Amino acid sequence: IYGSDKYPKSAQAYLEDWINIKGGYLRKYLPMQGDSIECDLLPDVEKALRWIEEMQGSGFVGTESLS
């Protein structure tokens, strides 16, 4: 839909940016079993995303009163 005008770099280039920028969002590592590099969110990013989810709250839960 957006094409190369909106996202001119490759997916790999964006991952490298997110790993290497100051403060970063991802960590890159080689798992013990495997030969392909993997990426995970940094703990602070996961914490921020959980906080955002909590801010959205849960839907209304109705209860029945016996009084």
Read off the pLDDT of residues 15-45 as tens digits, 9 standing for 90 and up: 999 999 888 899 999 999 888 989 999 999 9
Identify the pLDDT of residue 60: 63
pTM: 0.61
CB-hemisphere CA count at 13 Å for 27?
A: 10
d(CA 53, CA 51): 5
What do you get for the CA distance between the two ends of the chain, in Å?
A: 57
Q: Where are the domains of the chain?
A: 3-45
Residue type at 12? Q
Q: Which of helix, strand or coil describes residue 44?
A: helix
CA distance 4 to 41: 26
